[in-house]
Amino acid sequence: MDRDRAVDRLETLVERVEREPMPVPVREIWAFGDVALGLDPIERLDVYLTKDVIMGGDADAAADFETEYGVKGVGTSVSAEWAERHPDRVRVSDNGYAAPEKCLAAELVDNSGGRGPSSSRTKPDDEPIHLEVCNASFEDNVRQRLKGALARDAYEEVLDPRGVCLWVDGTRDAEAFDRLRAASFAMPTLSDALEMLGADESVATAAAETLAARRAEQEGASVRGDMV
């Protein structure tokens, strides 16, 4: 997508989080990768969401939803209020529990319906957008993912650290959107950014090449959930 459309999409996403009930509370929204680098067109629009856990839970709602739809975790993993309003957007993990990251993707990327609670995947879509969803902040998760990837030589798990914070705890950064439109953020190469975080030069280069190859294989909408 072209740059203006990509930034418009980010604004729409933030507006939905501000306006609509979400499957789980959202605390931070970041844009990273191509859009932060000032590329035009953008091959993939990468968005990072920091989610909070649902406190307390609703055991009765969980039991009712499981009885009706066969999905566990509604009222604990995801909001019962949201799930009851949008049962067609509930997505589940392989173990049959409501998956917060997939539910967020269904709400924000594919909310056209048509795939109910029995689905374990979001609806394939031509929109080249990727959501990263985690309970940790973007900056903390960048470091944690890099540390784990280096320890296991699992470079595909590295998270691109070149990000722009768009929204935190209900406050939008209007200047960030203006600068994204103007492509005015100065960002290093991915390998240089990883070196700044402590990776050796050869490792940073290998990780950057691995991520580039992985991204080239991705198409349409995608989502990844993470816990720190």
Each domain of the chain, given as residue ranges in start order, spans 3-54+100-226
In whole angstroms, what is the distance from residue 106 CA to residue 90 CA?
A: 7
pLDDT tens digits in sequence order for the chain, 228 residues long: 999 999 999 999 999 999 999 999 999 999 999 999 999 999 999 999 999 988 776 778 788 889 999 999 999 899 999 999 999 999 999 888 999 999 999 999 975 433 344 333 334 457 899 999 999 999 999 999 999 999 999 999 999 999 999 999 999 999 999 999 999 999 999 999 999 999 999 999 999 999 999 888 888 899 999 887
pLDDT score of 115: 37
Kindly report the CA angle at 138 between 88 and 191, in degrees rounded to 5?
Answer: 120
Is residue 52 left, alpha or beta, with left meaning phi > 0 and alpha meaning psi from -120 to 50?
beta
Could you write out the DSSP letters of every residue in 170-199? TEE-HHHHHHHHHT------HHHHHHHTT-
In whole angstroms, what is the distance from residue 209 CA to residue 27 CA?
A: 31
DSSP state at residue 200: -
Q: What is the pTM of this model?
A: 0.90
Crossing angle of helices 3-19 and 174-182, in 10° steps, is: 160
Q: Which of 167-171's residues contact partners 24+ apart within 8 Å by CB, and which partners?
A: 167/14, 167/17, 167/18, 167/28, 167/29, 168/27, 168/28, 168/29, 169/27, 169/28, 170/18
Q: Residue 149's closest CA among 222, 214, 202, 199?
A: 199
> Rounded to 5, what percent of the chain is helix, strand, coil?
45, 15, 40
- In this structure, the chain runs to a length of 228
Q: Is the distance from CB of 68 to CB of 55 less than 8 angstroms?
A: no
pLDDT score of 119: 38
Beta strands in the chain (DSSP E): 26-32, 45-51, 129-134, 163-168, 171-172, 222-226
